[in-house]
Amino acid sequence: MATNATETPDTGQHLEVIRKRKRKVPTEVSIFLVLVGIALLFEALGWIVRGDSFLMNPSRLLIMILQMSIIGIIAIGVTQIIITGGIDLSSGSVLALTAMVTASLAQQSDYVRAVYPALTDMPWIIPLIAGVLVGALCGLINGALISFAVIPPFIATLGMMVSARGVARAYTDGQPVSMLTDQFTWIGSGANPVIIFLAVAVIFHIALKYTRYGKYTYAIGANPQAARVSGINVRRHLVLVYTIGGLLAGLAGVVASARAGTGQAGMGLMYELDAIAAAVIGGTSLAGGVGRVTGTVIGALILGVMLSGFTFLGVDAYYQDIVKGAIIVAAVVVDQYRQRRRNKTA
Amino acid sequence: MATMTAEDLTPDIADYLLEVVNARKTFPGVVALDNVQLKVRPGTVHALMGENGAGKSTLMKIIAGIYIPDQGEVRLHGETLTLNGPLDALEAGIAMIHQELNLMPFMTIAENIWIRREPLNTIGLVDHQRMNQMTEALFERLGIDMDPETEVRHLTVAGRQMIEIAKAVSFDSDVLIMDEPTSALTDREVEHLFRIINDLRAQGKGIIYITHKMDEVFEIADDISVFRDGQFISAAPAKELNSDKIIQLMVGREVTQMFPKEEVPIGDVVLSVKDLALENVFENVSFDVRAGEILGIAGLVGSGRTNVAETLFGVTPATSGSIAIDGQETEISSPHQAMLRGLALLTEDRKETGLFLGLSVLENMEIAVLRDGYTKSAFVEQRRLDHECDGMKELLAVKTPSLDERIGNLSGGNQQKVLIGRWLMTNPRILILDEPTRGIDVGAKAEIHKLISKLAAKGVAVIMISSELPEVLGMSDRIMVMHEGKVTGFLDRGDANQVSIMELASSPVEPPVAED
């Protein structure tokens, strides 16, 4: 018995060392493998069902990435909000509202039914700035409601989701805003949305990793009380995070209206859910404190590949939604599993 | 274990209603209970006494089936029980009244009491009328005058406490555990509670009663068991004890030489607190702390000592009174402001308000200094910070594979060192430590004590709150004792001992002695 007792802790320690040495695979890598897997699955199905390659078609890939760029821009803003432990349901509606406002300031002068006949043919920078500011203002309201009126993020942004859509409709009595200047629509032409998306991704990747802003964001999500006692002004920081989330939704609205050449109140419907899905699929934890921009970019690509792949296979849109819903739920299940494992080791 | 021994068959076994034999319970890094026993006779009130952390609550949770002991057994009427959850204990006849209330505020009194046992009518729906009648019958027995249909949220804390008691009684259990049941009650309500207890005692039930209040113990208890540091110390009929004796038993340790307190020159007053108050929590708190001095704050849990620390640090800004630093009156309304004025606070609850469990050691350590000196145009100077954190890790001998390790994977002692490091990096002039060594092993404790001494020697003014009297006595130059939100006295290092502290901490003695 006595010899056993001295041996047991030894082996126990040994096991622990081995477990620690086992190289941890970063979340991004596993998500990337999922992306590759899905793409290859469509490739195989493509050859079987249509006798055609899914991946060897640059124009299809470009369209896919273009489609995802706008949701991707929103998703990056949503990612940092979810990292704080919050949520943003308003981004799709904010996109619509900013698209309307932006388009109304980017109309051509020879268009007789311009919203502001006196404000036509303006340089592209003006509608761009206006759109981004409108988005930021919506985010600021979200943040202020959450921080100072102490309303749960779900409710505050739900209110904004409904109201912003209403404002977008009321703005022109539901009429689309068209005939936009060429220099404005250039923003959304070609691969520009992709470039903007990637630029935003790089900026926020750096901001979350290497700036005080990012460090505070993670700290608040990990433990808001500890963050406060560590001297962080949690309320002010949350307002900032939501404002930036709104700003990115605004930017997405600018890009969307430039690409479509019009502003319409029905734009961006359900985009908020796609954005949240991209973040969650990318490994951002709804519990807060965990998440990366790289993961969200991959998450957005997964959604894009699925959309494009199903269209390529000619699968009905209803079935696409069913699978998309299942994937979102699966991503959350994986997140819960990861959390439980984290808590176990803690 | 399953075999019967001669001891099990001895005739006096039936004399005890409830027995706990050789209980042992460990939590990661801490032995909460070791070789503990308890014997409760039927028809008696058995009081458990001991300091915070003596193991009373752990023992109660074992009896109530909330914790499963690593070793030992619980016997009821001489029969060994297998308790895998609170429900098992309830069904066996053991009910517990929790210190923290577990009622559902938006349900009625009757619904709360009979939850999971609702009377049903013929078609299987809840029979509210009968449930209310049952409640009224119960209340009549206990002399409680309340409407069973009132929603619990409308009740005062004392009212809720009475409902908890009624609920526990409604199980008709043989054993009732009460964990500080009077903490929220007024004198009249306490009287009422004691009437109920006397009734239950007359019915032959066993009542296990935890309290810190001496006067109560002698009024209600038949037997008293004393615990200390997770060990059973002694048990005796209340008649054979007095409060001095109990305190002796509760604190009876030798003050060991594990506290390397250095004698350092004491400087000028750095922090001066006058009549500080937080409404309904504490009041009239006044003290000075000098550079190089360690001021200990002692008191039981709930005495307001942690609240004073949080108020000084701006977590819960004071409602009245003044704080002066270096003789200059100043306002502290947020932790941010407190930090600007040179304060640092190591919080009491590591998990709740200290750690970012999901983040790395580095991210945990650097968070408080990101504000000053380590950022250049919003970008964090990570390399310099890595270097400083690495130095702090070496200084505090934090055992971690790397700074990138998730802090959740470290032991409690090492987590605590990281948190201390977080605050040392801010170069505080006034360091408030709330339970700096709670739940960590002896080795790490000694290291932290050494560090505190070193900081004081450097001229830092230290305020140290601790439930461990030897720690307070070993480390402090002066000790402030609190009881129920009031300062009950100051003791100089020379005059303080465990008994004098416990006396001040457990009773509201005459108005506080003027300090200094």
Residue B259, domain member (yes or no): no
Q: What average pLDDT does the segment B236-258 reach?
A: 75
Q: Are B361 and B380 in the same domain?
A: yes
The partner residue sitting opposite A231, judged by closest CB among B336, B375, B380, is B336
Confidence grade of residue A178 (pLDDT, cut at 50, 70, 90): very high
B451 to chain A, minimum CA–CA distance in Å? Answer: 21
**Residue-number span of the structural domain to which A118 is assigned:** 64-272
Q: A with B: how many residue pairs have Cβ under 8 Å apart? A: 84
Closest CA to A284 of B404, B379, B354, B358: B358
What is the bridge-based pairing of β-strands B379-380 and B430-434? unpaired
Structure tokens at A332: 């959350």
Say how many C-beta atoms besides its own lie within 10 A of residue A72's C-beta. 30
Closest CA to A171 of A104, A254, A247, A267: A104
**pLDDT of B3-39, one tens digit each?**
444 444 444 445 899 999 999 988 765 678 898 999 9
The predicted pLDDT at position A51 comes to 86
pTM of the model: 0.78
The predicted pLDDT at position A9 comes to 35
CA distances from A290 to A223, A249, B397 (A): 11, 21, 28
The predicted pLDDT at position B342 comes to 94
Residue B16, domain member (yes or no): yes
**DSSP summary character for residue B20:** E
The partner residue sitting opposite B367, judged by closest CB among A219, A290, A346, is A219
Scanning A129-168 for CB atoms below 8 A from B yields none
How many helices and strands, by DSSP H and E, does chain B display?
17, 22
- Tell me what the pLDDT averaged over chain A comes to: 88
Q: Are B224 and B364 in the same domain?
A: no
Q: Are B183 and B311 in the same domain?
A: no
The predicted pLDDT at position B516 comes to 44
Q: Does B223 score more than 70 pLDDT?
A: yes
CATH number at residue B68: 3.40.50.300
Say how many C-beta atoms besides its own lie within 10 A of residue B461's C-beta. 28
Residue B460, domain member (yes or no): yes
Contact of A104 with A263, CB cutoff 8 Å: yes
Is A233 within 8 Å of B380 when comparing Cβ atoms?
no
Residue B258, domain member (yes or no): no
Q: Are B314 and B212 in the same domain?
A: no
Q: Are B26 and B60 in the same domain?
A: yes
Considering chain B, what percentage of its residues have pLDDT values greater than 70?
92
Residue B202, domain member (yes or no): yes
Closest CA to A141 of A116, A154, A159: A159
Q: Are B229 and B269 in the same domain?
A: no
SS3 for A200-253, per residue?
A: HHHHHHHHHHHEHHHHHHHHHHHCHHHHHHCCCCHHHHHHHHHHHHHHHHHHHH
The predicted pLDDT at position B308 comes to 95
Q: What share of chain B is helix, strand, coil (3-state, %, to 5)?
A: 35, 25, 40
Question: Domain end: B251, B285, B306, which one?
Answer: B251
Q: Which string of b and e fits B271-296 if b means at least 16 CB within 10 Å?
A: bbbeebbbeeebbebbbbbbbbbbbb
Residue A39, domain member (yes or no): no
Structure tokens at A92: 């799709």
Helices (DSSP H) in B313-358: which residue ranges? 335-340
More confident residue, A10 or A221: A221
**pLDDT of A99-151, one tens digit each?**
999 999 999 988 878 888 888 889 999 999 999 999 999 999 999 999 999 99
Q: What distance in Å separates the CA atoms of residue B292 and residue B453, rounded to the nearest whole number?
A: 9
Structure tokens at B192: 């009422």
Q: Residue A270: which region, alpha, beta or left (left: phi > 0; alpha: psi -120 to 50)?
A: left
Residue B257, domain member (yes or no): no
Contact of A290 with A133, CB cutoff 8 Å: no
Considering chain B, what percentage of its residues have pLDDT values greater than 90?
51
Q: Are B215 and B324 in the same domain?
A: no
Is A345 within 8 Å of B357 when comparing Cβ atoms?
no
**pLDDT of B460-473, one tens digit each?**
999 999 888 888 98
Cβ contacts (< 8 Å) between A289 and chain B: which residues? 356, 358-359
Is A225 within 8 Å of B380 when comparing Cβ atoms?
no
Q: For the packed helices A153-171 and A91-104, what is the interaxial angle rounded to 10 degrees?
A: 30
Q: Are B226 and B283 in the same domain?
A: no
Q: What average pLDDT does the segment A59-70 reach?
A: 90
The predicted pLDDT at position A279 comes to 95
**Residue-number span of the structural domain to which B414 is assigned:** 354-426
Cβ contacts (< 8 Å) between A232 and chain B: which residues? 336, 367
The predicted pLDDT at position A138 comes to 98
Q: What distance in Å separates the CA atoms of residue B23 and residue A190, rounded to the nearest whole number?
A: 74
A218 to chain B, minimum CA–CA distance in Å? Answer: 8
Question: Domain end: B251, B273, B290, which one?
Answer: B251
B362 to chain A, minimum CA–CA distance in Å? Answer: 11
Closest CA to B47 of B226, B168, B234, B241: B226
The partner residue sitting opposite B315, judged by closest CB among A219, A223, A229, is A229
Residue B405, domain member (yes or no): yes
Q: What distance in Å separates the CA atoms of residue A206 and residue B378, rounded to the nearest whole number?
A: 11
Confidence grade of residue A344 (pLDDT, cut at 50, 70, 90): low
Q: What average pLDDT does the segment B234-261 reach?
A: 76
Q: Are B306 and B238 in the same domain?
A: no
Q: Are B170 and B59 in the same domain?
A: yes
**DSSP summary character for residue B350:** I
Q: B80 pairs with which residues across the strands?
A: B75
For chain A, what is the domain count?
1
Q: Does A346 score more than 80 pLDDT?
A: no
Contact of B161 with B144, CB cutoff 8 Å: no
B425 → chain A, closest CA residue: A230
Instruction: Answer whether A225 touches B (CB < 8 Å).
Output: yes
Confidence grade of residue B80 (pLDDT, cut at 50, 70, 90): very high
Contact of B253 with B246, CB cutoff 8 Å: no
Question: Domain end: B381, B397, B426, which one?
Answer: B426
Closest CA to B428 of B346, B342, B366, B347: B342
Closest CA to A46 of A315, A346, A244: A315
Q: Does B361 score more than 90 pLDDT?
A: yes
Residue B72, domain member (yes or no): yes
Q: Are B436 and B407 in the same domain?
A: no
The predicted pLDDT at position A7 comes to 33
Is B345 within 8 Å of A218 when comparing Cβ atoms?
no
Cβ contacts (< 8 Å) between A227 and chain B: which residues? 356, 367
Residue A109, domain member (yes or no): yes
SS3 for B132-189, per residue?
A: HHHHHHHHHHHCCCCCCCCEHHHCCHHHHHHHHHHHHHHCCCCEEEEECCCCCCCHHH
For chain B, what is the domain count?
3
B358 → chain A, closest CA residue: A222
Q: B34 pairs with which residues across the strands?
A: B231
Q: What distance in Å separates the CA atoms of residue B342 and residue A262, rounded to the nearest whole number?
A: 57
